[in-house]
Structure 1
Amino acid sequence: MNVVVALFPLIILIMMGYGFKRIEYLTDEFWRGAEKLNYMILFPILLFNSLAYIKFEVAALTKVLLALLIIIVLSSLMLWVMKVIFNIPVARFGVYVQSQIRFNTYIGLSITSLLFGTQGMQIFAMMIAFAIPLVNVISILSFTQAQQLKPQQIFISIIKNPLIGGCIVGIIFNLMQGSLFSGVEQVLKFLASMSLPLGLISVGAALQFAQLKQDYARLLMNTLGRLIVMPSVAYLICSLLGLSHFETMILVVFFSLPTASAAYILTRYLKGDSQLMASVISLQTLGFAFTFPILIFLIS
């Protein structure tokens, strides 16, 4: 499938959300409720469904998961080094960490399904099950200096994350070869099918560009780092580990995604620079529409 065709429905849904919010067609209460419903219920159900019935082939995907781990840990370490060198305040450092290692799963699942089909979705599902706990731990740790979080507080924050819960329950259900009443399965499928379109519309509604002029240079560097440097590093690591072309493409897609909208929630909760985080999410989401087709063209 042509990448432009694959991107088209995603862009339209995001634009719809942005338009609805700007003309105030729906109230702020609706958007807060939609975000909460999706983050707490619909998206965890989608993750559960994505993991509960796939065939886990961990041995076959060892190199993929290893590459994923190396890229995330390496980029995180580089950011910590830069924090020390440039004396970056913790409130902003947490934003920079999340902007480079977190990923918009709504966009990722949508684009992977359209471009790579069932096989690609299975690999991507395994990747997000591995990555979501890892990036959440690192993201929380990036704010620890300011909040002086204790290990038990970090553990509680991770366990309370509904996305991690959805992944864990889905994996356990899969390993136990569980089954559900067919009616319950249909209800879960209906709820899961609501998550991606609602998530993409909510992404559009959350876009904020007011701070772009104030932090233009910093935001531009951040966006280029996420949308160009990270997928380039992913391609290099995949080449060094000898991954197949198909696996390489999925990993490059993974690291070319804009950062997660949920990063704003965590930043606000841990008293980081939430306005900067909102601007980062907005600019990366906008830039993705331009950089992604070029990256796919180069590696195809």
Structure 2
Amino acid sequence: MPVSLFELFARTLDVTLPVFAMVFIGLGLKRLGWIDRAFVSTASALVFKATLPTLIFLSLIKADLAVALDIPLLVFFALATLCQCALSWVWASFRIPREERGVYVQGAFRGNCGVVGLALAAGMYGNDGLSAGSLLLGVVIVTYNVLSVVVLAMYQPGQATDWRSLLWKIVTNPLIIAVVAALPFTAWSVALPRWLMTSGDYFASLTLPLALICIGATLSVSSLRDSQQVALSASVMKMVILPVLATGAARLMGFSGQSLGLLFLFFASPTAAASFVMVKAIGGNVALAANIIAITTLMASVTVTVGVFALRLLGWI
């Protein structure tokens, strides 16, 4: 029996609304004063250093590596990310003031795949989405960090790029460590004790709601009132232009179904909060970076929903 447009849209909302509802709950809790900056800082560190690596590790050791390890998918994502960075860089070279180009380019291509992308993948594809998305995160972390450092360093004449420090940060990234640690367990089907798996599941289940609440709590409505044209331009590039181009290219390359859906969700994720940290570290325009993060996060609730609905309507995913 054919699925009506209403049913199709309702199924799409079933995937996207739970994720973005948690973001807006975080915004509401912050405005009510029930959570504060100290809570957000501590909770974010807990997610990054402990609960998210646990979630990634457990999702991978439960996975069938023959299914989750999709080499063409990983390679395409890395190449597409490189092309997205290059395209936004070329555009910025002609339209954006030099002193803001580095922040613009990073904001336009660097997505929040580790939280929003992974949450959407889990909502749409369950454990299979988590497993494939977790492996994809390994590529995400390396490409995003390297490209961000390069583009920011290019427009900070007084700053030298410390490649040794960058490499050390990548090697010691808890998310990459979780992916690498899980691979032997998955490849050789090593089973962990049942009690340990259950405890790990309890701990890992904190990740997505806690991380999404923290994202909502860091949104600044006042900063949106002061949003600049550059921030709006970067946000449209990040949430509309690049996801459409990258997903279209993926379709032309033969990706479909779950693979295409995962690629779209990762491409369409809002700008990562880590981009703000990197801009602050080099003394860049932190207000611009914060505005891009806030605008893209709010836009995502609409653009991701519309995108998933359109792809399902076309029968591509």
| TM-score, reference length from structure 1 | 0.88
Indicate if the aligned counterparts of 1:104 and 1:261 stay in contact, CA closer than 8 A.
no
Indicate if the aligned counterparts of 1:4 and 1:293 stay in contact, CA closer than 8 A.
yes
Which stretch shows the higher mean deviation, 150-159 or 173-182? 173-182
1:137 matched residue in structure 2: 146
Which stretch shows the higher mean deviation, 37-46 or 191-200? 37-46
Query: Structure 2 stretches of 5 or more lacking a match?
Result: 1-9, 313-317
Indicate if the aligned counterparts of 1:90 and 1:142 stay in contact, CA closer than 8 A.
no
1:162 matched residue in structure 2: 174
Distance 1:134 1:51, change over 3 A: farther
Q: Counterparts in 2 of 1:207-218, with a 5 A limit? A: 207-218=219-230
Q: Secondary structure at the match of 2:230?
A: helix
Which stretch shows the higher mean deviation, 151-160 or 113-122? 113-122
Please report how far the alpha carbon of residue 193 of structure 1 lies from its aligned counterpart in structure 2 after TM superposition: 0.6
Q: Which amino acid aligns with 1:253?
A: L
Please report how far the alpha carbon of residue 224 of structure 1 lies from its aligned counterpart in structure 2 after TM superposition: 1.3
> Partners of 1:14 and 1:81 in 2: how far apart?
32
> Partners of 1:239 and 1:94 in 2: how far apart?
30
> Partners of 2:241 and 2:57 in 1: how far apart?
31
Q: Percent identity?
A: 22
Matched, 1:254 2:266: yes
Please report how far the alpha carbon of residue 282 of structure 1 lies from its aligned counterpart in structure 2 after TM superposition: 1.2
Q: Which amino acid aligns with 2:178?
A: G
Indicate if the aligned counterparts of 1:91 and 1:143 stay in contact, CA closer than 8 A.
no
Please report how far the alpha carbon of residue 5 of structure 1 lies from its aligned counterpart in structure 2 after TM superposition: 2.3
> Partners of 2:99 and 2:171 in 1: how far apart?
23
Please report how far the alpha carbon of residue 264 of structure 1 lies from its aligned counterpart in structure 2 after TM superposition: 2.5
| TM-score, reference length from structure 2 | 0.84
Please report how far the alpha carbon of residue 283 of structure 1 lies from its aligned counterpart in structure 2 after TM superposition: 0.9
Indicate if the aligned counterparts of 2:85 and 2:106 stay in contact, CA closer than 8 A.
yes
Indicate if the aligned counterparts of 1:112 and 1:121 stay in contact, CA closer than 8 A.
yes
Query: Structure 1 stretches of 5 or more lacking a match?
Result: none
CA RMSD of aligned residues (A): 2.5
Please report how far the alpha carbon of residue 33 of structure 1 lies from its aligned counterpart in structure 2 after TM superposition: 1.0
Post-superposition CA distance 1:119-170 (Å, at most 9, x none): 3333323322322222122222223343302321221222232222222222
Q: Secondary structure at the match of 2:206?
A: helix
- Match for residue 151 of structure 1 among 149, 163, 171: 163
Runs of 4+ that moved beyond 6 A? none
> Partners of 1:256 and 1:288 in 2: how far apart?
7
> Partners of 2:141 and 2:78 in 1: how far apart?
11
Which stretch shows the higher mean deviation, 220-229 or 89-98? 89-98
Distance 1:92 1:224, change over 3 A: same
Post-superposition CA distance 1:213-232 (Å, at most 9, x none): 43332222211111111221
- Match for residue 90 of structure 2 among 81, 85, 91: 81
> Partners of 2:181 and 2:104 in 1: how far apart?
29
1:62 matched residue in structure 2: 71
- Match for residue 283 of structure 1 among 295, 303, 316: 295
> Partners of 1:168 and 1:211 in 2: how far apart?
39
Indicate if the aligned counterparts of 1:95 and 1:267 stay in contact, CA closer than 8 A.
no
> Partners of 2:204 and 2:190 in 1: how far apart?
18
Matched residue count: 300
